[in-house]
Amino acid sequence: MEGAMKAFGYVRVSSKGQVDGDGFARQEETIKAYAEKAGYEVVRFFREEGVSGTKGELNRPAFQDMMEEILRNGVRTIIVERLDRLAREYRIQESLLIYLASKDVTLLNASTEENVTEAVQSDPMKKALIQIQGIFAELEKSLLVKKLRKARERKRHETGKCEGRKSYAEAAPDVIREIKRLRRKPRGGGRPLTYREVAEELNRQGLKTRTGKPFTGHIVQNILQ
């Protein structure tokens, strides 16, 4: 569907025995039909297999995978067959709706053709809860960043190095030894090999850089600096 907005479909069945039934197929067909009518392309379905509608987001593997994908790839719309497929218990349903809204994710109900997120945000009390959840999410992120920064600083203080890409000395010590050998001045006199000549010899030996590319004089020079 060229030019269509992209969305994910979320489908759920409550018991393992329903996984092989027609529950998923029925939900997906309803979602696809509504998506086509509303101008959406469902790029992927997330199937919650045998998870009760009373379970929150922490006990929903497919829901968690979907949110990770949403936060990573830019799709911001979810379509469900009905709200009870999102959650059957009202308290859990409301919690998930507020969570999605706080992440700026739109939830659409295929059966009623309702923009559920829009309806939630029009309720002043629920809108306040969305804002509060968003604030706490930012707070959690800030605390995590601060915690990771302190951990990096502590490791750097203890070892002198933290994170980042491994140096050639750590990742490819054999290559370093060979470069240094090739760069030594010959015992019988003469000049040492240039960086370019060292690179040519490394390539002749079939050695590669960490990215799998041939060596160049510039790369050899940078490694030794």
Q: How many CB atoms lie within 10 A of CB 48?
A: 23
Instruction: Give the model's pLDDT for residue 28.
Output: 94
| Tens digits of residue pLDDT in 22-31 | 788 899 999 9
Instruction: Give the model's pLDDT for residue 32.
Output: 96
pTM over 0.75: no
- Going by C-alpha positions, the residue among 44, 50, 45 that lies closest to residue 13 is 50
In this structure, the answer to whether residues 29 and 88 fall within a common structural domain is yes
The parent domain of residue 103 ranges over 5-119
Say which CATH number the domain at 45 has: 3.40.50.1390
| Tens digits of residue pLDDT in 52-64 | 656 666 677 888 8
Query: Residue 146 and residue 165: Cα distance in Å, rounded?
Result: 21
Alpha carbon of 14 to those of 9, 54, 181: distances in Å? 17, 9, 66
Instruction: Give the model's pLDDT for residue 191.
Output: 81
| Tens digits of residue pLDDT in 33-48 | 999 999 999 999 999 8
In this structure, the answer to whether residues 187 and 106 fall within a common structural domain is no
Domains contained in the chain, number: 3
